[in-house]
Amino acid sequence: MTNTATAIAFSEEQAMLLETAESYCRDKAQMDAVRALIETDRGFDDAVWREMGELGWLGIAIPEEFGGSGLGLSEVVAIVEPMGQRLLDSPFISTILAAQTLITGGTSGQQRQWLPRIAEGMAATVALFENNGDWDLNNVTCSAEMIGDNLLLSGEKSFVANALEAELFIVSLQYYGATSLVLVERSALSDENFDRETVMDETRRSYRVDFTGVTIPVANLLDQKLAARALRRLDLVACLLNAAESCGGTLGALQYTVDYLNTRLQFERFIGSYQALKHPTVDVLLGYDASRSLLYHAATVFETADGEAATRMAKAKANDTFAFAGDRAVQFHGAFGFTYDCDAQLYLRRALWNQTQHGDPAYQRRLLQPLLLD
pLDDT tens digits for range 21-79: 999 999 999 999 999 999 999 999 999 999 999 999 999 999 999 999 999 999 999 99
Q: Check pLDDT > 60 for residue 159.
A: yes
What's the sign of the alpha-carbon dihedral 337, 341, 346, 347?
Answer: negative
Q: Check pLDDT > 50 for residue 360.
A: yes
197 and 266 assigned to the same domain? no
- 269: confidence class by pLDDT, cuts 50, 70, 90: confident
pTM of model > 0.75 = yes
189 and 66 assigned to the same domain? no
368 and 238 assigned to the same domain? yes
Tell me 129's DSSP state. B
Element holding 156 (H helix, E strand): strand 156-161
Cα 16 to Cα 10, 74, 134, distances in angstroms: 10, 12, 38
Q: What average pLDDT does the segment 197-216 reach?
A: 96
Question: What is the C-alpha separation between 177 and 20, in angstroms, rounded?
Answer: 46
Q: Which domain holds residue 105?
A: 3-122
Q: What average pLDDT does the segment 310-327 reach?
A: 98
- 158: confidence class by pLDDT, cuts 50, 70, 90: very high
135 and 14 assigned to the same domain? no
Q: What average pLDDT does the segment 322-333 reach?
A: 96
296 and 264 assigned to the same domain? yes
The predicted pLDDT at position 272 comes to: 75
Question: What is the C-alpha separation between 226 and 367, in angstroms, rounded?
Answer: 22
- 268: confidence class by pLDDT, cuts 50, 70, 90: confident
349 and 248 assigned to the same domain? yes
Question: What is the C-alpha separation between 240 and 299, in angstroms, rounded?
Answer: 7
> Which among 164, 181, 293 is positioned nearest to 231, based on CA atoms?
181
> Which among 309, 374, 319 is positioned nearest to 350, based on CA atoms?
319
What is the domain-level CATH number for residue 206? 2.40.110.10
Please give the mean pLDDT across all residues of the chain: 94
Residue type, 163: A
Q: What average pLDDT does the segment 322-339 reach?
A: 95
Tell me 266's DSSP state. E
Domain boundary among 122, 140, 167: 122
> Percentage of the chain surpassing pLDDT 90?
90
Question: What is the C-alpha separation between 100 and 233, in angstroms, rounded?
Answer: 8
25 and 35 assigned to the same domain? yes
Domain boundary among 122, 144, 174: 122
- 1: confidence class by pLDDT, cuts 50, 70, 90: very low
Q: Check pLDDT > 60 for residue 263.
A: yes
The predicted pLDDT at position 373 comes to: 87
28 and 95 assigned to the same domain? yes
The predicted pLDDT at position 6 comes to: 60
Q: Check pLDDT > 90 for residue 4.
A: no
Q: What average pLDDT does the segment 227-243 reach?
A: 97
Q: Check pLDDT > 80 for residue 195.
A: yes
Task: Calculate the CA 230 to chain-centre distance.
Answer: 17
- 183: confidence class by pLDDT, cuts 50, 70, 90: very high
202 and 288 assigned to the same domain? no
The answer to whether 139 and 172 have CB atoms below 8 angstroms apart is no
Question: What is the C-alpha separation between 70 and 59, in angstroms, rounded?
Answer: 8
Domain boundary among 159, 194, 227: 227
The number of folded domains in the chain is: 3
Q: Check pLDDT > 50 for residue 205.
A: yes
Q: What average pLDDT does the segment 272-288 reach?
A: 91
Q: What is the CA radius of gyration of the chain?
A: 21
Q: Rounded to 10 degrees, what is the CA torsion of 351, 353, 359, 365?
A: 20
What is the domain-level CATH number for residue 342? 1.20.140.10
362 and 249 assigned to the same domain? yes
205 and 238 assigned to the same domain? no
What is the domain-level CATH number for residue 65? 1.10.540.10
66 and 137 assigned to the same domain? no
- 264: confidence class by pLDDT, cuts 50, 70, 90: confident
DSSP result, 185-231: EGGG--GGGEEE---S-TT--EEEEE-TT-EEEGGGB--GGGHHHHH
Q: Rounded to 10 degrees, what is the CA torsion of 265, 271, 272, 273?
A: 100
